[in-house]
Structure 1
Amino acid sequence: MKLPQVLRSLLIVICILLFSSCVSRKEIVYFQGLERAGEIIDQNRNNGLEIKPNDLLTISVSAPEIEAAIPFNLPVTAGGNSFGGDEMRVAGTPALQSYLVDSDGEIEFPVLGTINVQGLSRQQLAAKLKNEIAEYVQEPIVNVRIINFQVSVLGEVNRPGTFDIRDENLSLPKALGLAGDLSIYGKRNNVLVMREDGDKKVYEYLDLTDPQSISSPFYYLQQNDVVYVEPNGAQRQSASYNRNAGVYISIASVLISLVVLITK
């Protein structure tokens, strides 16, 4: 018995939807062709973060003679919370006060006065302070941290949001991991990274399916970077449709089967 025209049309539509939903490996898998790419030189990992205006720094100074180092430390606060997720302190627990880098890239440091810190890594700033403090204190030890290192991950990821970071070498894949990785609808070959560079906004699109993306200066993120994952073509086309379409197709298939049985 021939199927009614309506049923044949429905079957054709279902087949088209099923075949169009197939996604190739090339569109999904990260860092394809690593075995053919050979050794990839990572020139950006050890550059470190550069201190920028509006950064918050904690700087601690110690020395074998503890009393001699005290004037070079800000007073320790006894209450409240410090900045950042992992930097949170329970109320009443001592915490170092922070230095806010002003618009000129400077901080006011005890005893030494105005210090220009813009463009320095935390290691470079620690070495600079150590040299100057050594004129007053024997064998000083200086520790510098950037405590407002945040990145935002938006778009087609499973948990978009803004994240507080402690790791100085935060790679793009690690940031995406914090956001629960790309959803199946995310476009992996066109991930946007936006960055503040002084008064300018700079950006780059990275192809995560290409292992050469590791050599990009945007592969390691900096404070206040924004990562945006664009929806793929299928997701854009289906923006006006319900993602439960697969369930509806299954129900339609069952109904068609029932109709076929009844009309026999």
Structure 2
Amino acid sequence: MKILTRSSVLILLVISACAPRRDLVYFSNMANTTTTNDAQNPEARIRQNDIVNITMNSLSPESNLLFTSKNISPDATLKGYRVNKSGNIHLPLIGDFKIEGMTIEEAQSGIAAALSEHVKKPEVEIQIVNFKVTVIGEVNKPSTFIITDEKINLLEALGMAGDMTVYGKRDNVLIIRTEDNRKTMKRLNLNNQETLNSPYFNLRQNDIVYVEPDRSKAVEFSSNTRIAPMIIASISAAAVLIAVLLKR
């Protein structure tokens, strides 16, 4: 029995020594005090197919009611005006108004200026109601998340997805970004503090975050590892038998 135990322990030690080491700490090379520049986080710009909720307040209550957004999604959860292929939305009193490429503040100012020809002292508020990011792969709660303030970074997105599992590769997180009908892909190392300065650390509309599993998960769930306990038991039995034969 002692020989069996020692053999099993030896085998387990060999197996564990061969397993790849994983750094599960984010930004493990960060100094105690670090300052980063947040200039890499530009304001969100309105794009085609965005849905914008617009509210207007003025001295005319009747005109204000015209800007009550209607449901435009099949499930009746999203309210707003969809930006068409020309970059326009069709607004009461104004008609077609191009907002594609504008920031939220620019669109608010532009619409307010156009409305001032029809109502007194208009105040306009805009929100992109379909600003979303998707987090998939080795996270605890993969999903698509609607972002209400048009601003989110990679760590916040991972937090919304319940953080990475222990199998997630923190040094190789893939960001897939679509802009102007072009897809770009960037891999980020979350063990390196330089990632904080990457233009991909702050996410944009419709970004996809993919957390790749490391090799240890592939090994654990491969068909070969299903017979690992049988192999270990066979080796242990063989070690006991050899020890018994040598004593004779």
The residue number in structure 2 matching 1:94 is none
The residue number in structure 2 matching 1:184 is 166
Map 1:156-195; keep pairs closer than 5 Å: 156-195=138-177
- The superposition leaves residues 39-66 of structure 1 with CA deviations (integer Å, 9 ceiling, x where unpaired) of 2111133x22111111111111111332
**Matched residue SS, 2:109:** helix
- CA distance in 2 between counterparts of 1:162 and 1:189 reads 22
Contact 2:54 2:69 (C-alpha < 8 Å) held by counterparts: no
Structure 1 portions without partners, runs of 5+ = 85-96
Q: Does 2:28 align with 1:28?
A: no
Map 1:15-94; keep pairs closer than 5 Å: 15-21=13-19, 23-24=21-22, 27-35=23-31, 38-45=34-41, 47-71=42-66, 73-74=67-68, 82-83=76-77
Residues 196, 83 of structure 1: alpha-carbon distance in 2 compared, 3 angstrom cutoff: farther
Q: CA deviation at 1:13?
A: 2.6
The residue number in structure 2 matching 1:117 is 99
Letter in 2 for 1:29: V
Q: Does 2:148 align with 1:150?
A: no
Q: CA deviation at 1:228?
A: 0.3
Q: So what's the TM-score if we normalise by structure 1?
A: 0.76
State which of 196, 219, 223 in structure 1 corresponds to 2:178: 196
Contact 1:37 1:211 (C-alpha < 8 Å) held by counterparts: no
Q: So what's the TM-score if we normalise by structure 2?
A: 0.81
Instruction: State how many pairs are aligned.
Output: 236
Letter in 2 for 1:83: T
**Matched residue SS, 2:202:** coil
- CA distance in 2 between counterparts of 1:18 and 1:202 reads 38
Contact 1:69 1:137 (C-alpha < 8 Å) held by counterparts: no
**Matched residue SS, 2:170:** coil
- CA distance in 1 between counterparts of 2:127 and 2:210 reads 27
Structure 2 portions without partners, runs of 5+ = none
Q: Does 2:120 align with 1:126?
A: no
Residues 244, 175 of structure 1: alpha-carbon distance in 2 compared, 3 angstrom cutoff: farther
Q: Which moved more, 1:231-240 or 1:57-66?
A: 231-240
CA RMSD of aligned residues (A): 3.3
Letter in 1 for 2:77: F
**Matched residue SS, 2:96:** strand
**Matched residue SS, 2:169:** coil
Q: CA deviation at 1:237?
A: 3.2
Q: Which moved more, 1:200-209 or 1:30-39?
A: 30-39
The residue number in structure 1 matching 2:215 is 233
Q: CA deviation at 1:199?
A: 1.4
Contact 1:194 1:204 (C-alpha < 8 Å) held by counterparts: yes
The residue number in structure 2 matching 1:87 is none
Residues 28, 76 of structure 1: alpha-carbon distance in 2 compared, 3 angstrom cutoff: closer
- CA distance in 2 between counterparts of 1:244 and 1:143 reads 59
Q: CA deviation at 1:225?
A: 1.2
Q: CA deviation at 1:100?
A: 0.9
Residues 170, 99 of structure 1: alpha-carbon distance in 2 compared, 3 angstrom cutoff: same
Contact 1:32 1:210 (C-alpha < 8 Å) held by counterparts: yes
Letter in 2 for 1:35: A
